[in-house]
Amino acid sequence: MSHQQAPKHFPDTCKCCQDPCDCCVSFWCPCITAGQTAQRAGTGSFWSVAGKLGLVWFLHFIVGLAANIAAQQALVNSPCTSIVNTESEFVFSSAIMCPTTEDLLQYQGSTRMISYIAIPLSLLLRLCFVYLLWSGRQKIAEKYNVRNDGCPALFFMCCGCSFFTLMQEHNLSKTQPVGPAVVVGPAVVMGAVVGADKAPEVNGVASAV
């Protein structure tokens, strides 16, 4: 009888960067690593997993870019100007100068409205990205029969360090067998061999079965 123990936890976080190439891909293109791991583990196709994550991250980038462009356009349309002060060789600060207090309040109202729209959308898309990462990790944990503890995995996902968790899943899918432990039992005897002394007689001659 052979008994193969399944891992109880994901690989150690400190060992996630043993492969520098895969670690760099996970840092710069987490969608690719997530898709490759899902396809290797059989929890989803590469394009479905990578496509969803890539779409959410692209929308997150578009929202941030649109908010920045809108803030710059609001400054252009107002009589206010932006002044950059060089305090030292490495430290820069900027200030908004307006002719009147009314112009300043109008500019602040425009930028505040942009923030009211952009910040909730950005947070919502970020939460969607974390949810997709977590649901994919949960499927891999069930596939490989390992524990999926929320800490520190969710912390890494929420703070933008998801490449740590992605490399854990990547290393697990490359080094561990899929599924829980399989126990192979003893052979089952389906029948008995009849001895020659008890073999039936055919035409007076004993024959072995």
Residue pLDDT, tens place only, 173-190: 887 665 554 444 554 444
Cα 77 from Cα 60, distance rounded (Å): 26
Listing DSSP states for 155-196 in one string gives HHHHTT-HHHHHHHHHHHHHHS-SSS--B--PPPP---PPPG
Query: Mind listing the pLDDT tens digit for each residue in 66-113?
Result: 998 988 888 888 888 877 665 555 555 667 788 888 888 888 888 888
pTM of the model as a whole: 0.70
